Amino acid sequence: MNTPTCSLGIDFGTESGRAVLVDVSNGEVLASHVTPYAHGVITERLPHAESNSFVPPDWALQHPQDYLEVLYRSIPAVLQAAGVSAEQVIGLGIDFTSCTMLPVDAAFEPLCLKAEYSNHPHAWVKLWKHHSTQEETDLLNRITLERNEPWLKRYGGKISSEWMLPKCLQILHEAPEIYRDAAYFIEAGDWIVAKLIGQLKRSGCMAGFKSFWHEAEGYPAPDFFAAVDPRLQSITDTKLSGEVVPLGNQAGTLLPHMAARLGLTPGLPVAISMIDAHAAVLGTGVCTPGKLVMVMGTSTCHLMLSEKEICVPGISGVVKDSIIPGLYGYEAGQSAVGDIFAWFMKQGIPVQIIEEAANAQMSVQDWMERLASELKPGESGILALDWHNGNRSPLDDAELTGAIFGMTLRTRPHEIYRALLEATAFGARSIMETFRNNELPVHELYAAGGIPQRNRLLMQIYSDVMNMEIKVADSPFTPAIGAAILGCVAAGEARGGYKTIQDATVVMGKTKSGVFKPIPEHVSIYEALYKEYSTLKTYFGEGGNDVLKRLKRMK
């Protein structure tokens, strides 16, 4: 029996982390293991803290130890499950949600783990969906526009509250002592790599999309930061310092004590980290322009490649070499997709539906999908806006909220559920049309992540709404496979890996054999519904009526 040469991919998501062990020769997943985060998303009370250490509204924090537990548990588990020795593993790659950031000291120790700061919310990890930085974001956008900063065009003309600088500025404003004592503000993906190799190497993918770094220009000039706040003037030479390294490179090699803890070989090549959704592009096998990849989970990222740089209004950014070296990577996204469905399953399902699902020996999720699939498009007369966690693209406004229109006293839960599915499809189409309207043609459509693997109704609705065939990634662990691709590229040909990301992606990335195809009679109905969605988007999202924001402020 042939002994496979393997690469490890570690994917850090919103609720859990997972490791996959991948055969370098064909992309086959030999073993996988998921480690849930013990502390989950911290939104109410800090862990291991006094009883009055509450988390403020609109915050989303995490515990850095949860990330290390993914390494400690999942890596040995996949090695054991696959029966693979440490010597067969040639490289290790990391992908992570972004911008998920934490303040650390000079030795990369998180400030939240120090006794003097354990009760301070600003010392903890700020998750990507930490949305309490709107005041700082508004200030940044105002100063950037007043100064006519040219780099803003690469980010759709607007800074997002989810990115690095708003989070740093919030710490400076609300917890200057945390700002003072932090040696670095660091992406969690880069922090994991630093723990593995013992030095800080910042990801060009993460720095480019979330921290305004550019391969030719570097960070924005110090006078921009000084105009925002004089205390920020030196932030890129201090708190954000560290070599920024493009994808496809080795960050360093595995420290002996980490190798012993993980059951791996000391000196194992470790790749530069990558944003989780961007890694999924590699996992689907996409490495050429004209293909839109929707990475669908709690939120959705929409990724494209192009040979040229085009500044597209409303997208999250364009960064060269951020996905495939030599090409420009484009990112857009929806702030909530799976989160919306989970919210409704938790808050909107009556006891009667739960009992029906139990009698049918089905999960509530599957039962709702079955009921909703019996509806025809437009049959319920309901239309929703998918802004329950704000709108990332193309409006880039975290202050927006969701809405449902057309309900009556006869409206049933599965009709609302279907309307929410459709709303996320309309949101995805608005992003696709933004690309197309700005000289970035979309010829093929791909879906990756856990949701496309589980929810066939949703994927059919997307195909109908977008009037395109959709190819679905072969594995639910697509980002982790992308991370494994980075690992074997970091190892290089000499160790049995690959010379380039493109070479590895062609061999190791995969989609399922079947596709979802649009149903013509559905397409025409959804065309009419999408026009109504667009009208509501313009009215409630583009200044026609700010009632959704006013209601949110009244909370």
Residue 145 has pLDDT above 80, yes or no: yes
The token pair at 216 is 């030719």
Exposure string over 275-298, b if 16+ CB within 10 A, otherwise e? bbbbbbbbbbbbbbbebbbbbbbb
What the block records as the tokens of 436 is: 């197309």
pLDDT in tens, 432-466: 999 999 999 999 999 998 899 999 999 999 999 99
What is the tens place of the pLDDT at every residue in 163-206?
A: 999 999 999 999 999 999 999 999 999 999 999 999 999 999 99
The single-letter code of the amino acid at 49 is: A
Round to whole Å and give the CA distance between 300 and 456: 17
Cα→Cα distances 376→323, 373, 418, Å: 39, 8, 10
DSSP 3-state of 229:
coil
* pLDDT per residue as tens digits for the range 297-327: 888 999 999 999 999 998 999 999 999 999 9
Distance from C-alpha of 550 to C-alpha of 159, rounded to nearest angstrom: 21
Q: Could you identify the residue written with the tokens 């090695």? A: 79
User: Given this model, what pLDDT does residue 2 score?
Assistant: 62
- Label residue 516 by pLDDT band (50, 70, 90): very high
Angle between helices 413-436 and 338-347 in degrees, nearest 10: 170
Percentage of the chain surpassing pLDDT 70? Answer: 99
Q: How confident is the model at residue 50 (pLDDT cuts 50, 70, 90)?
A: low
- pLDDT at position 396 is 84
pLDDT tens, 15-32?
Answer: 999 999 999 999 999 999
pLDDT at 49: 57
The string over 39-59, giving b where at least 16 C-beta atoms fall within 10 Å of a residue's C-beta and e elsewhere, is: bebbbeebbebeeeeebeebb
pLDDT at 52 over 80: no
pLDDT in tens, 474-512: 998 999 999 999 999 999 999 999 999 999 999 999 999
Using 50, 70 and 90 to split pLDDT, how confident is the model at 51? low
pLDDT at 399: 87
